[in-house]
Every structure is written in C-alpha cells, then in structure tokens.
Structure 1
Amino acid sequence: MRLALLTFLTMTAFAANSILTRLAIEGGHIDPSGFALVRVLSGAVVLAMLISVRGGGLPLLRRNRLGGAFSLAVYMIGFSLAYLTLDAGLGALILFGVVQITMFVHGAMRGAAPRRQQVTGAVIAFAGLLVALWPGPEGSADPVGAALMIAAGLGWAAYTIIGRGSVDPLAATAANFLLCLPILLILLVGPALEFSVTGIALALLCGGLTSGLGYALWYSILPKMSGPTAAVVQLGVPVIAIVAGAVLLGEDIGLSVLVAASLVVGGIGWAVSARSTPAGHS
C-alpha cells in the first residue's frame, strides 16, 4: 500500500509539471525562457540540498555528463516553449509517447530483439501520436508546439539513456541540473525575459517540488520495481495531466485526444508487458 501511494504521488508530480508550466506560460505570468531558468535553478538547489543532507558529493566531472546536461537543456527549452500553444494534457501525451517509443527503438537497435507483441504495441502507440497530431475539426495540436514537444521528448529520452548506467541517479541528476543552468543562460537570456511574482512562484514549485522532490521520490521507489512495472506505472502520467488540465485549466477533452490517449497508453502498456528476446548477446 505504501509503495502504491508513493508511486501515485510521483506520477502526480510528473503530471503537475505540465499543469504548472501551462498555467504559468499560457497565463502570461512568465515567459518560457524565464520559466525554464527558474525551474532548473530551483531544481538544482533542492537536489543539491538533498545530496548534502544525505551525504556525498556532486559528480560534476563524469563521463557523458556534458551529454546529459545538453539533453536536459533540450528537454527544458522544448517543454517550456511548447506550452505556449499546447494544452497541458496533450503536451504530456506527446512527450510521454515520444519518450517511450524512442526508448523502445533504442533498445531494439542495441540488440534487444523485440517480440511481435512489442512491435504491435509500439505501432499502436505511434498511431496514437499521429491521431493527436493529425489536423481535424476539433483543432489539432499546433504544429510548432507539437514539434517543440517532440524535441523535448527526444531530449528527455536521450537524457534517460545517457544516465541509465549511473550508480547514483539522484546525485547524477543534481549534477546535470547544475551543469544545465549555464547552458540555458547562454541560450535563453535576453531582453525578452519577463517575470512576475506568480510566474516565479509557479516555476519554483515546478522546479523544486514536482521536479526536484519528484525525481528524488521516484529514484527512492524505482529499485523496488521491475523494469516493466516502472514503465507501466508511468502510463498514468498523461492520463492524470489530461484530467487535471480539464478540471484545473478548463481544457477541452475532445474525441481525438481521448482516442489518442487510449492508443498511446494502451499500445505502450501492451508493448512493455512482453519480454525482449536477447539478440546474440554474450
């Protein structure tokens, strides 16, 4: 029961990233660049504090650390800019689908020969993404916003793949957040930055609470789950974001979004329930 509750809290925190970002940016409380900067800074501070309390240093100079920081920056920039035009639920659905499909393709390319069930599930999930992005009478996803969220998904997938072998994921995440900050400062700082008290507060919540503490909680419960279970529970993130977006932000849940969510979540759930067959690994 305790593990289930903590898992639900973690998935809610991940979905809240979309809600808070959309609320802050679409509401005009802060610009996307400023939101990304404050989010990363507050996340870095919270994660560094957790590492300090726990004990141990920050592994800033490690193999692949620069790649992790750059991929995190791509995710942060794409995620923030996409929510200028995308609804919170639709954005989470695109992000989640792209990340999971990319991880699946990467695993297949690395030699984990997919079974028919996995291929079928991936095709269904990809079809769901096409439904979400396809022009329709209900008003499809803005193409620029969708492209930015796809880039964010690719960035987060790359970040996950790079950090997969880390012996201390929490410390590695804290280090990547710290190194990501100067990259964002170089790429985003300019005269167009706009801040308000409300916008900064929402960015602090997103960075420090739902990102920083959310990631810390996730890494604490992740060792208690199998790989497929960890993948399956994340299916709840876009669903929570879609419902929360409708309730809290007044976003419409059209038929195309419901169909897309069913296909993406169902397809990935079907894919991860099958085991991979090793392909010539010694």
Structure 2
Amino acid sequence: MKLFVLTALTMIAFAANSVLNRMGLDKAGMDPLHFGTIRLFAGALTLAVLALILRRGLQIRGPGRVLSVLSLIIYIYGFSIAYVMLDAGLGALILFGMVQVTMFAGAVLNREAIPPLRWLGAGVAFAGLVWLLWPREEVSVPLFHASMMVLAGVGWGVYSLVGRKATDALQATAANFLLAAPIGLGLGFLRPAVSDISQFTTEGVALAILSGAITSGLGYALWYSLIPALGAGRAAVAQLSVPVIAIAGGAVFLAEWPDLRFVIAALIVLGGVGLSLRAK
C-alpha cells in the first residue's frame, strides 16, 4: 500500500510539471530555455541543501552519473521546447508513451522477468491513452514540437533506468541536477535572444522555481527511491497514468475541460495501471 501511495504522489508531481511548464510558456510568456534553466537551478539548489542537511555532504560521483546528467538535460530542454505548442495532455501522452517504450526495452534487454499480467496491463493502459489522444480532424500536432517531446521521453526513460543503480536517491538526484544546471546555462548562450532579461516574467520565474524545486527536484528524488522496488516494467506502466492526471490538471488550471472520451479513456488507463501493479 505504501509503495502505491508514494508512486501515486510521484505521478501527480510528474503531471504537475506538464501543467506548470505549459502555464509558464503559454500563459506567462517565458522562453523555453529560460524556463528549463531556472527549473534546473531551482532543483539543484533545493536538493543540495537537503543533501547537506540530511546527508552531511554531497557525493557527486556515482554509477551512471554521466549518462544520468546527459539524459536529464535532453529531457528538461526537449520537454520545455515541446510545450511551446503542445497541450499539456497531448505532450504528456507523447512523453510517457516514449518512456514506456524505452523502459520496457531496457527491461527486455536486461532480461528482467515481466509477468503476463504486467504485459496485459501495459497494453490496456497504452491502448486507452492512444484512443484518448488519437489525432482527429480538428487536432493538429506540430511535428517539430512533437519530435522534441519524443526526444524528451527517451531521455526520461534512460534517466529512470539508470536511476535503478543509485544507492542514495537524494544524493544521486542532487548530483545530477548540480552537474546539469551549468551545462544547461551554457546551452542558453547558443541562442543570443535568450540573454535578453526582458523576456523574464515574475509569474514565469515563480512557476519555473516551483517546477524545479518541488515537482522536479523532490519528485525525482522520490522516484529514484521507488524505482528499485518497482522495476523497469512496473515503473514504465505506472507513468502511463501521468497524461490522464495532466489532462485533469489542464482542465482545472488551463480551462481545457475533458469530455466523455476523456472519462472513459481515464478509466481504461487507470484499470491497466492497476492490473500491471498487481502482477507479482
């Protein structure tokens, strides 16, 4: 029961990132590189302080550190750029659809035992998501921004797989953010317009800090602590609930109200997740 509750809280944090990013870029008018960089630094500062208080120090080295940092950067900036145009729910579907593919591929390559019930649950959940956000005549998906979200999904899938090797979730996540933040700042100089401080908005900065410090920094540290118990297969399927939560958040905070299609698909997705998490 404890594992289920903590996993649910983490999925809510992941969905909140989609809503916060969408609000920061669409409503507050922030530049995606600005938003991603502030998000990284806010997460790094929060996690560093917690590590110093709770662990009496920071441990930068660790297994898979380079790959973790690179995949985190790919995820953060692909995510931000994609949400310039994508709706919160559609972006979350593309992201976690790719996460599922990446993590199930990792589980298969590592010869992790995946019970039939978990395969069935994954299939049911993914089918519900595909049906929910299958392109219709009135829906146009920007190819470039969708591609950025695909890239972000692969980055997050790799980041989650590498996280299984972490012996201390807080230390590992703090190190990843601390190393990724200055690299992200350097990437910003590749676009001269990003140096224009007039593009910062109070609301956008506040949303980026909230996303970085709470729903990203603390959420990812909790995620790293849960992955060893979940395994790659269950971790992948659990994340399929995020788009449903993100659409609900979009309805409340972005006035994107769901229809009957959403309600039915949400039940299918959550049912699939439940089947997968029950598999031994």
Q: TM-score range by the shorter chain?
A: 0.7 to 0.9
The alpha carbon displacement at 1:136 in A equals: 1.4
User: Residue 50 of structure 1 corresponds to which residue in structure 2?
Assistant: 50
Q: Distance in 1 between matches of 2:216 and 2:186?
A: 22
Deviates more, 1:38-47 or 1:123-132: 123-132
Q: Distance in 2 between matches of 1:110 and 1:223?
A: 15
Residues 67/226 of structure 1: CA separation in 2 closer, same or farther (3 Å cut): closer
Q: Distance in 1 between matches of 2:59 and 2:123?
A: 39
Q: Deviations over 1:112-165 (max 9, x none)?
A: 354444444444455455546643123143332222112111101101111211
Q: Is 1:198 equivalent to 2:203 in the alignment?
A: yes
- The 5-angstrom pairing of residues 85-104 of structure 1 reads 85-104=85-104
Mapped contact 1:97–1:125 kept (Cα < 8 A)? no
Deviates more, 1:1-10 or 1:117-126: 1-10
The alpha carbon displacement at 1:98 in A equals: 2.1
Deviates more, 1:61-70 or 1:71-80: 61-70
User: Residue 215 of structure 2 corresponds to which residue in structure 1?
Assistant: 210
Q: Percent identity?
A: 49
Q: How many residues align?
A: 274
Deviates more, 1:54-63 or 1:32-41: 54-63
5+ unaligned residues in a row in structure 1: which ranges? Answer: 276-282
Deviates more, 1:108-117 or 1:194-203: 108-117
The alpha carbon displacement at 1:63 in A equals: 3.6
Q: Match of 2:275, as an amino acid?
A: W
User: Residue 105 of structure 2 corresponds to which residue in structure 1?
Assistant: 105
User: Residue 258 of structure 2 corresponds to which residue in structure 1?
Assistant: 253
Q: Distance in 2 between matches of 1:161 and 1:223?
A: 8
Could you state the TM-score of these two structures normalised by the residue count of structure 2? Answer: 0.82
- Aligned to 2:165, what secondary structure does the other structure show? coil
Q: Distance in 2 between matches of 1:35 and 1:20?
A: 10
The alpha carbon displacement at 1:234 in A equals: 4.6
User: Residue 183 of structure 1 corresponds to which residue in structure 2?
Assistant: 183
- Aligned to 1:164, what secondary structure does the other structure show? helix
Mapped contact 2:238–2:273 kept (Cα < 8 A)? no
The alpha carbon displacement at 1:180 in A equals: 0.8
Residues 258/145 of structure 1: CA separation in 2 closer, same or farther (3 Å cut): farther
Residues 145/9 of structure 1: CA separation in 2 closer, same or farther (3 Å cut): same
Q: Which structure: greater helix fraction?
A: 2
- Aligned to 2:258, what secondary structure does the other structure show? coil
Q: Distance in 1 between matches of 2:241 and 2:15?
A: 9
- Superposed CA RMSD in Å reads 3.1
